Amino acid sequence: MQGSSRRKVKIVCTLGPASNTPERIEQLIRAGLDTARLNFSHGTHDVHRALFTSVREAAKRTGKYIAVLQDLQGPKLRVGKLAAEGIQLRAGDEVLLFPEGTSPIASTHGRIPLPISAEIAEPLSRDLRKGSKILFDDGKILSQVKEVIGCEMVIEIQVGGKLTSNKGMNLPGTPLSLPCATEKDLKDLKLGLDLGVDAVALSFVRTPKDILFVKEQIRKTSNHSPLIVAKIEREEAVYAPDGILEVTDGLLIARGDMAVELGAQKVPVIQKMLIRMCNQLGVPVITATQMLESMISCPTPTRAEASDVANAVFDGTDAVMLSAESASGEYPIEAVQTMSKIILEAESEASRYSVHQQQVPLSGSLVESIEFSASRIATHVGAAAIACLTHSGTAARTLAKYRPEIPIVAIMDNEASLRKLAFCWGVEGILIPELVATDDLFGMISRVLLENKRAELEDYIVITAGLPTVGRGTTNAIKVHQIKAVRGPARSSPL
């Protein structure tokens, strides 16, 4: 039973107005959703609580273990509330930025007063210098700082345009002192921990300290331990990712703000660099932003979008993400189906076009040596599957680092740990009642694979496990096993 048409690259879908009912979420799961993203830049706690419940219920109906990713807003740089018609800015205009909810202190003579969110005014006045660039509305409007006066800033417009309420701001080239996790983020995080989200994405990560701070907050306030995913979009993180990769559980390449901060021409190279670094360390990586943007309003993607998704697959990404396409677009189900088809087509030719490099085990790591060897052995013997007996999922994630041609099946007794593998390339999961040492361990594995159609009689399978105890963190053995007639049910549930 060698070979598989199962998709290896996972799909993350953002939920929103176009996908907020239990029925629509179930449709998305059946179309190929692996992870549901809850975007905390929008919506109330009640909205997100309902979405979380709907995902869990839909997953149960489909017999799948779907992860929930809580995406925290982070320090939102934005203008304040403006008149309904907005403000028309022209090259040469002088603009006074002042904290929303206050009256300007500096002179407004010959200047256009423009409120910015109050919580960012003071830290920005510390960080900005004369000559610093400020971009508005995804880079459509460009300005330069002329003067900083207390918590207010005088800027000159270089490229004008119409500016409306709450549009975003970017400060390319300016290191920010704003905390990565705001007061709002910590309140949202508490909700996520109470619900039991499987992963938390941090926006605008700059240094390892940002991640360690949030991990410490989680440790102090909850027994729940979600994965932490660092969103890479700021210049500081792009050009010094090594320390971040050492402490994060995953990476999300947020190409939107990254393009505004650094220039769109740099994004493809940065994407390849970050994916390669993640692959080398075995850190799951998600590629995001505008992957099928035209499908917000069109039932088919552009040729460029299809190529973008395929190239992310060839680069070695673990997952790809839909944003507005699935959250507010007119064709959310079609977008997921289309993305899945593109991934499968790319994967069928990945051996010919992929730039993924064969990784080698880290020196001194027993689990890396075991899983690396298992990937090679499985290919040589033509195995139907590589079965990882694992409590935490670490063995399966490690095996995925080597991108074996043979399907990876994680056999686990912990549903929460199993869901976290929804971000990981090529890993399928099977839940069993309890993982214990038994005289018929290999027979149990054979039954599990047969019942879940991962193998057939007479197939060879490669098994990695901790023997003889099957304890946590004890992976120390590889077994090549041929499936013969087996007895008794395995009582498992497929992912």
Which pLDDT does position 33 carry in this prediction?
A: 98
What is the spatial distance between Cα 251 and Cα 278, in angstroms, rounded to a whole number? 8
| 119-144 tens-digit pLDDT | 889 999 999 999 999 999 989 999 99
Work out the pLDDT band at 355, boundaries 50, 70, 90.
low
| 44-80 tens-digit pLDDT | 999 999 999 999 999 999 999 999 999 999 988 999 9
Residues 149, 141 contacting (CB under 8 angstroms) = no
Which pLDDT does position 5 carry in this prediction?
A: 61
| 171-206 tens-digit pLDDT | 998 988 888 899 999 999 999 999 999 999 999 999
Which pLDDT does position 160 carry in this prediction?
A: 96
pLDDT at position 2 over 50? no
Q: How many separate helices (H) and strands (E) can be counted in the chain? A: 17, 22
Write out the two tokens for 137: 């509305």
Which pLDDT does position 438 carry in this prediction?
A: 67
**Average pLDDT over the chain, rounded to an integer:** 92
| 235-277 tens-digit pLDDT | 889 988 899 999 999 999 999 999 999 999 999 999 999 999 9
| 370-408 tens-digit pLDDT | 999 999 999 999 999 999 999 899 999 999 999 999 999
Type of residue found at 61? R
Which pLDDT does position 75 carry in this prediction?
A: 86
2 or 51, higher pLDDT = 51
* 8-state DSSP, 405: S
Write out the two tokens for 365: 């790591």
Helix (H) or strand (E) holding 99: strand 94-99
Which pLDDT does position 188 carry in this prediction?
A: 98
Work out the pLDDT band at 489, boundaries 50, 70, 90.
low
| 144-173 tens-digit pLDDT | 999 999 999 999 999 999 999 989 899 998
pLDDT at position 411 over 50? yes
Q: Average pLDDT for residues 6-17, to the nearest whole number? A: 97
For 30, other C-beta atoms within 10 Å of its C-beta total 15
What is the spatial distance between Cα 54 and Cα 41, in angstroms, rounded to a whole number? 20
Work out the pLDDT band at 3, boundaries 50, 70, 90.
very low
What is the spatial distance between Cα 284 and Cα 495, in angstroms, rounded to a whole number? 19
For 492, phi and psi rounded to 5 degrees? -115, 170
What is the spatial distance between Cα 69 and Cα 299, in angstroms, rounded to a whole number? 26
Which pLDDT does position 4 carry in this prediction?
A: 45
**Which residues are marked as active site?**
37, 78, 231, 289
Global pTM?
0.92
Q: Average pLDDT for residues 336-364, to the nearest whole number? A: 86
Residues 314, 353 contacting (CB under 8 angstroms) = yes
Chain centroid offset of residue 254 CA: 9
Please name each of the domains of the chain with its CATH number.
10-75+181-347 (3.20.20.60), 87-170 (2.40.33.10), 366-494 (3.40.1380.20)
pLDDT at position 486 over 90? no
pLDDT at position 495 over 50? no
Q: Average pLDDT for residues 410-417, to the nearest whole number? A: 94
pLDDT at position 468 over 90? no
| 471-484 tens-digit pLDDT | 777 788 999 999 98
Q: How many residues does the chain have?
A: 495
CA dihedral (10, 16, 21, 23) in degrees, to 10, reads: -30
